[in-house]
Structure 1
């Protein structure tokens, strides 16, 4: 077996790792799948062949249901029917969100917003300590702005998690 290497920036590596995790595939397995897809290779060997096989479940569906499942998997950002089906089962078993890459990105954006809110709170605290005369006006405006941003953030995260948990009940 041959080895291929490449250099990635820190951001590229982070994005690649998160993409692979969201797709429920190892980094090497995902790279192999992409190479096979681009090159038209029909080889079905994977990184998992080196490991003991996991348990397998077979589900038989009517052709219409199979097409619908295929469409749902693609709509929701899964690379394969298998990864989508795995997410359905895990969500049902653990009653916890199983996030797609898009949802992980939304949560990442949400965390950036929280970081910005924290920086704003530090600025407000600093201003209140420096500007005793202007304190009431600065405090009211800043707190109202932060409260609005926190509420927007809370609504975004709630919507994302609610959508994820209700995904499987449709």
Structure 2
């Protein structure tokens, strides 16, 4: 690496003076302390690398391989119960749990998919209504837009935002270790 490329310029703004004071108490120059902190973070990252993300798309499907696992009777019963709640097979539930662990992304169950589908349908309907209003205004037609109509649209959007948030929360909570009853 060339010497000129080995430098890092960082704008500290209002924290520069407190940082310099702190480094002085440590007996270090501010630049040396930052370099040391970066080195510590890099050594941590090398010691505990982040898991690789796994994503299987519909266009490129990997062949599936059989993999057997042994569960206790209570574990199998719990998986069966959760799969029934999620309206999916035990196999699908286990695969979703594994994918969540590998990708750190939500895997939606049928109830969330239904909720998201309904929410998407309603949001598309709202979009069509807004497009119709915009088209009429662009054509020079008077379209009575009242505060009440805007508030009603805002409430619908808020309602569907809540639906999406609930679905995401439910998916993330599904994979938590604690057992809910």
Normalising to structure 2: TM-score of the pair? 0.55
The aligned counterpart of 2:95 is 86
Q: Which moved more, 1:67-76 or 1:145-154?
A: 67-76
User: Following TM superposition, by how much is the alpha carbon of 1:156 offset from its aligned partner in structure 2, in angstroms?
Assistant: 0.4
Q: Distance in 2 between matches of 1:101 and 1:85?
A: 15
The aligned counterpart of 1:117 is 126
Q: Distance in 1 between matches of 2:141 and 2:66?
A: 65
Number of equivalent positions: 114
The aligned counterpart of 1:154 is 161
Q: CA RMSD in A?
A: 2.3
**Per chain length, whose mean CA-contact separation is higher, i.e. which structure has more relative contact order (CA < 8 Å, sep 6+)?**
1
Q: Distance in 2 between matches of 1:119 and 1:53?
A: 41
Normalising to structure 1: TM-score of the pair? 0.58
Q: Spell out, residue by residue over 1:106-165, the C-alpha distance to the aligned partner (whole angstroms, 9 max, x if none).
A: 21111111111112213433565523xx85xx2322211111111001010010011111
Partner SS, residue 146 of structure 1: helix
2:101 is the alignment partner of 1:103: no
Partner SS, residue 88 of structure 2: coil
Structure 2 residues not aligned, in runs of 5+? 1-61
Q: Going by fraction, where is helix more abundant, 1 or 2?
A: 1
The aligned counterpart of 1:168 is 175
Structure 1 residues not aligned, in runs of 5+? 1-51
The aligned counterpart of 1:130 is 141
The question of whether the paired residues in 1 share the 8 Å contact of 2:86 and 2:110 is answered with no
User: Following TM superposition, by how much is the alpha carbon of 1:59 offset from its aligned partner in structure 2, in angstroms?
Assistant: 2.5
